[in-house]
Structure formats: C-alpha cells, structure tokens
Amino acid sequence: MGKWYNILVAVDAMEPSLSAVRYVGQVAGKIAEVSICLLHVYPEPPPDFQASGGVCENYMAQRIAGAEQVFQRCTEILVTSGIRREAIACATQMAEGKTISETLLEVRARGDFGTVVTGKRGISKAEEFLFGSISNALARHCQDFTAWIVG
C-alpha cells in the first residue's frame, strides 16, 4: 500500500471537486512529505464525433485546455492551504476504451497513490444507474488504498 500522503485527487470544474481540494488542503497542508497529483480524466468523444467531421486531436486539446484552468484554481487552493507548489503535480488523461473511474483506478495503481480523493455530487439512484458515480465506483473498488469521498 502506498504512503497515505501520496495523494491523487480527481478534479473537474464542478463545485464538489473544489470542495474535495479544499478538504485535502486542510488535512494535508501541514504535512511536510505530502505530494499531490491533481488528475483530470475526461471521456472519449461521442460515437458520431469522427463521422461528423470531428478531429480527435482538437477534442483532446480542448479538454486539456479546460483542465489547465481547473488545475490553476485547485493549485491556488492547495498553496493557500500551505502546500508547497513543487509538491503539486497535474495530469490529464482521456479514458480510452474504459470508464472514467477505471482510468482513475489505473492511474492510482500505476502511481502507487495511498489516498484517492474525489468530490461527491448528490445524485438520485436513477442518475447513478444511468450516468454512474465516480465516488461510488471508488468506494466499491477501494482496495490497497484509502478513498476520501468529500460530500
């Protein structure tokens, strides 16, 4: 099991995600050894994307540009909480042939992160069934690491 203060935070532009980053700042802000990776995973383009003239590289560039803004915001929150800027890394990844949660779990295993953090949206059972829930997937597959689900 990786060290707990090697923390992977799944982020997007939504408020629950920013809440999770604030929570990480509060908990880990005073830990000297902490290292944090902000990860933004985005889905593959829709099935008709290429048939309707879309270019995958442009789609990825757009998603990465959007993620950069999220990273900036999250980094400021963490730095304000006392975490050194050098201790913060950022990564963007497309979920290719996988779900977003599967991709998150893969990145977790590859980086041997001891803690994975995500925000929790309040969604209904029907929404969860249809659109899925990263936090539920994390809770379900949490093994050899600790999950922080911030509501």
Q: Is residue 127 involved in binding other proteins (CB under 8 A)?
A: yes
d(CA 80, CA 62): 28
Where are the extended beta strands (E) located within 44-126? Answer: 88-95, 115-119
d(CA 119, CA 10): 8
Residues 7-36 touching other proteins, rule: CB under 8 A, are none
Residues 64-103 touching other proteins, rule: CB under 8 A, are 95, 97, 99-101
Total residues at the site for other proteins (CB under 8 A)?
A: 24
Angle at 70 between CA 66 and CA 74, to 5 degrees: 170
Residues 32-61 touching other proteins, rule: CB under 8 A, are 43-44, 46-48, 51-52
Which residues contribute to the site for other proteins (CB under 8 A)? Answer: 43-44, 46-48, 51-52, 95, 97, 99-101, 125-134, 137, 140
